[in-house]
Amino acid sequence: MRLFSVDGKLYKFMSTLWDILKLNFLWLVFSLPIVTIGASTVAAYSVTLKMVDNHEGNIMSDFYESFKKNLKQGIILGLITIFLAYCAYINIEVFNKAKDNPIIFLISGIFISYIGLVHITYAFPLLARYENTIKGTLLNSRKITYKYFFRTILLWIVVALLIGFFNFNVPLIFIGLIIGPSTVFYGASAISKKIFRNIENDNISSWT
């Protein structure tokens, strides 16, 4: 039956699922020092961007090569992301726990979250696909966010739904540990890749 053939949909689904499992394991292992989580995320995106483009490759070697290549910039980008997330968290926590609930902390938390999302959303896949400085990558992420704002909202919704799904109950949390992060990277790559293609096809010369 064609369903079970090498070209069948079931085979392709199982093959993709196996690749996602392997990629998730690599991402977790290489993220263990915490400080390398940014470089590990860039490496994961380098793999998922190829996966959504149906480019066959070796998951382990592709991941490791990208990890080595982008180690320094990935670490910096990861630390920037963690810092912004922590600042937003602290402000919102102060608002929630303070007796008089000072609104300035809520506004500050929301503002930092928005600024972080705008600059970080495409930063990791951009760094995985193109050579650039950290500043240039962050600025390009912001440009893409505003130029393709409705697609970016779709990306945020997809990521939020995936995170919410894998945190719905204990069994799904367990499944999320096995395939959650790489599934998020894969979903984000599917949307990002289309945007990158449009930019490349339009040959926009204004990118940093």
CB-CB neighbours of 128 under 10 Å: 24
Question: Could you tell me the residue range of the domain that residue 120 belongs to?
Answer: 2-202
Per-residue confidence (pLDDT) for residue 5, from 0 to 100 = 53
Q: Residue 208 falls within a domain, yes or no?
A: no
Mean pLDDT for back-to-back runs of 10 residues, the chain (208 residues): 57 83 96 94 96 84 95 96 95 83 86 95 96 95 95 94 89 89 94 91 59
In contact, 183 and 172? CB cutoff 8 Å: no
Which two three-digit tokens encode residue 164? 């919410």
CB-CB neighbours of 16 under 10 Å: 14
Per-residue confidence (pLDDT) for residue 27, from 0 to 100 = 97
Per-residue confidence (pLDDT) for residue 54, from 0 to 100 = 79
Per-residue confidence (pLDDT) for residue 40, from 0 to 100 = 97
Q: Residue 88 falls within a domain, yes or no?
A: yes
User: Total structural domains in the chain?
Assistant: 1
Per-residue confidence (pLDDT) for residue 7, from 0 to 100 = 59
Going by C-alpha positions, the residue among 32, 29, 25, 27 that lies closest to residue 46 is 27
- What is the spatial distance between Cα 183 and Cα 33, in angstroms, rounded to a whole number? 22
Q: Residue 194 falls within a domain, yes or no?
A: yes
Q: Residue 95 falls within a domain, yes or no?
A: yes
Going by C-alpha positions, the residue among 184, 136, 140 that lies closest to residue 158 is 184
Per-residue confidence (pLDDT) for residue 81, from 0 to 100 = 96
The residue written with tokens 């506004």 in the block is 107
- What is the spatial distance between Cα 158 and Cα 195, in angstroms, rounded to a whole number? 16
In contact, 72 and 36? CB cutoff 8 Å: no
In contact, 185 and 43? CB cutoff 8 Å: no
